[in-house]
Amino acid sequence: MSAEISHRQRLFLGSVSVTGAVVLWQAVGSFHLVPKGLLATPAEVVAALIDIARHGYRGTSLGEDIGATLLRALGGFAVGAVAGIPLGLWMGMNRYASAGADWIVQFLRPLPPLSFLVLLMLWLGTGDTAKVGLLALTAFPIIASATLAAVTQVPRQKIQAALSLGANRRQIFRHVLLPAALPQISTGLRIALAAAFSTVVAAELMAGSDGLGWMIFSASQFLRNDVILLGILILGLLGMGLNTLLLSADRGLIHWRGRE
Amino acid sequence: MPDSGAPLSVTPSGVTSAPFVEFAGVAVTYGAGTPQAVAALSPTDLAFGRGEFICIVGPSGCGKTTLMQTLAGFLPPTTGMVSVGGQAVRGPGPERGVVFQQAALFPWKTVAANAGFGPAMRGLPRAVQRERVEYWLHSVGLWEFRDRYPYELSGGMQQRLAIARALANEPEILLMDEPFGALDALTREKMQEALHEVWRSRGMTVLFITHSVDEAVYLGTEIVVMSQRPGRILARIPAPFARQSADSEIRHVKASADFVALREQVLGLIWGENAV
């Protein structure tokens, strides 16, 4: 294990590499290392940001595009969690439930979610329902199997200790099983949110009239690679932000993670 | 103040009158009925009275833990029956407290909430819950850590908390499976002394599993020596020190000629069996 580095060091090193990347990127454009039109420079991307922030892009404002993408990702994620956590818990506690649902979850998990998209659009239309449904299908098997694994790995002695202290099944679930499984469930949630987020963009690329994915797709048809790069930057930052949000919630709530 | 239980009926041999805990022909086979079946415990008969401190010693994998788990209600015997006070054991219950080798605490709860877990789950009045937590955390020297979390405690403190948690529920029987096995020698001896104190003052029945013959001879009113797997009882040896050593120092007791002689006798039984 390498020694811990301080918060200040982390900030410094992170800024150095980001600055380096931006400088390199600008240099590639300024010195015409790439044919013009293939790579917008940082300055052009900033200009595009200012323009789109003011006037929107092809009829939708930047806020609407970001909001549409976020809402779809979070909506699908929430549906996946609401279905996946209880199923995972049930599978973890009941071997019949586990045997019954296992194949379906294991079948869904490795499937590329986009392979469902066409079917979902046929059934649910090209609107948000199909996209949210797709993201729910993306998040659900990840969350269900993480929750199942979490419950399976709860140390048996903790349950036995609670039983011999007089706890009933409901109390054991509430006071032992759930908190013991929480760290791993939370990890599963973060993985699922990342998956939902990357899928929403792909879904918007294929169909839609708003959202960051749509913005990127539409820009590519007009060879506006400043807008494409802007869309990618915003997506990356949003993804980072969401992950940081979940991570700090995890650190705040699950103080016992990794500590016995 | 928690109720101190029935007075001990002490006899010179260390055996009390009516059997309180009874193993009748208890045998355990893991995977019974399959080709991989493993006999863990040969049919075993063992009975002892209220207030006894029974120490089970024997080689690793001899079925000591298996025997205890049948009394805890974690493991149904393949054949035979375990009973407490004439009632068959059908599962875990709060009248049988358990302390494991690993403390098995709840790291999401504070030290106080861990100690008060049993009374809280059983819905005892709040005042009683508070009183018991306070009493037992004081007894094990953890009162000032009541608002901390278990992972902030050392290994010895965690084990003391596990014992306090079991005792705060005021079980009739305390089952301890190598509770001091993971502790360093000094902490271990202090814990032995502390447990001895508690047992003397409370008079509960204890079934104590250990690898340490020294520990068994010091703590037990009776030592049960088990054979290698599939375990069976080789000998039951009454031990006088638990009831004698009212104010004696643990070091003095363990250095006395009588203590050494009994320890050697028990060791001889274990070694003799393993040599065969």
Nearest CA to A228 among A29, A48, A26?
A48
Q: Is residue B121 part of a domain?
A: no
Q: What is the DSSP string of A92-148?
A: HH-HHHHHHHHHHHHHHTTS-THHHHHHHHHHH-SSHHHHHHHHHHHHHHHHHHHHH
* Domain locations along chain A: 1-35, 40-253
What whole-number distance in Å separates Cα of residue A100 and Cα of residue A104? 8
Q: Is residue B120 part of a domain?
A: no
- Which range among A69-78, A198-207, B42-51, B173-182 shows the weakest confidence by mean pLDDT? A198-207
What whole-number distance in Å separates Cα of residue A188 and Cα of residue A246? 11
**Distance from A166 to chain B by nearest Cα, in Å?**
5
Report the Cα A109 to chain-centroid distance in Å: 15
- B172-193 b/e (C-beta count within 10 Å ≥ 16 → b): bbbbbbbbbbebeeebbbbbbb
Whether B98 contacts chain A with CB within 8 A: yes
Whether A152 contacts chain B with CB within 8 A: no
Please name the residue of chain A whose CA is at the shortest distance from the CA of residue B75: A160
Kindly determine whether residue B102 and residue A157, on different chains, have CB atoms separated by under 8 Å.
Answer: yes
Question: Is B86 buried (19+), middle (13-18) or exposed (0-12) by CB count in 10 A?
Answer: exposed
pLDDT for A2: 60
Q: Is residue B61 part of a domain?
A: yes
pLDDT for A4: 80
pLDDT for B247: 67
Q: Which of residues 11-70 of A touch B (CB under 8 A)?
A: none
Whether B92 contacts chain A with CB within 8 A: yes
Whether B260 contacts chain A with CB within 8 A: no
Q: Is residue B216 part of a domain?
A: yes
The half-sphere exposure of B163 on its side-chain side, counting CA atoms within 13 A, is 27
Q: Is residue B131 part of a domain?
A: no
What whole-number distance in Å separates Cα of residue B273 and Cα of residue B267? 10
**Lookup: tokens for A162:** 């609670």
- Partners of residue B117 in chain A, C-beta under 8 Å: 162, 165, 167, 175
Q: Residue B34: CB partners within 8 Å, gap ≥ 6?
A: none
Whether B151 contacts chain A with CB within 8 A: yes
**Distance from A153 to chain B by nearest Cα, in Å?**
14
Residue A57 pLDDT greater than 70, yes or no: yes
- Print the domain residue range for B28: 19-95+171-275
Q: What is the mean pLDDT of chain A?
A: 90
pLDDT for B203: 83
pLDDT in tens, chain B (276 residues): 444 444 444 444 444 456 899 999 999 998 878 888 888 888 999 999 999 999 999 888 788 899 999 999 999 999 999 999 989 999 999 999 999 988 899 999 999 999 999 999 999 999 999 999 999 999 888 999 999 999 999 988 999 999 999 999 999 999 999 998 888 888 888 888 888 888 988 889 999 999 899 999 999 999 999 888 788 888 899 988 888 756 677 888 888 888 888 888 888 888 776 544
A19 or B255: whose pLDDT is higher?
A19
Interface test with A, best of B96, B106, B124 (most A CBs within 10 A): B106
Please name the residue of chain B whose CA is at the shortest distance from the CA of residue A169: B121
pLDDT for B273: 60
Please name the residue of chain B whose CA is at the shortest distance from the CA of residue A183: B108
Domains in chain B, number: 1
Model confidence pLDDT, tens digit, residues A143-157: 999 999 999 999 999
Mean per-residue pLDDT, A126-139: 89
Whether A166 contacts chain B with CB within 8 A: yes
Q: For Cα atoms A147, A148, A154, give the angle at the middle one, nearest 5 degrees.
A: 90
Q: Is residue B252 part of a domain?
A: yes
Length of chain B: 276
Q: Is residue B76 part of a domain?
A: yes
Nearest to B151 among A162, A175, A256 (CB): A256
Question: Cis omega before residue B59 (within 30°)?
Answer: no
A59: left (phi over 0), alpha (psi -120 to 50) or beta: left
Q: Which of residues 160-199 of B touch A (CB under 8 A)?
A: 162, 165-166, 169, 175
Of all residues in chain A, what percent carry a pLDDT higher than 90? 58
Mean per-residue pLDDT, A165-192: 95
Nearest to A166 among B74, B107, B118 (CB): B118
Give domain A40-253's CATH architecture: Orthogonal Bundle (1.10)
The DSSP secondary-structure symbol of B123 reads: T
pLDDT for B5: 43
Query: How many Cβ atoms from other residues are within 10 Å of residue B62's Cβ?
Result: 24
Nearest to A166 among B74, B94, B107 (CB): B94
- Tell me the CATH number at B246: 3.40.50.300
Kindly determine whether residue A176 and residue B72, on different chains, have CB atoms separated by under 8 Å.
Answer: no
What whole-number distance in Å separates Cα of residue A201 and Cα of residue A222? 19
Length of chain A: 260
Report the Cα B215 to chain-centroid distance in Å: 12
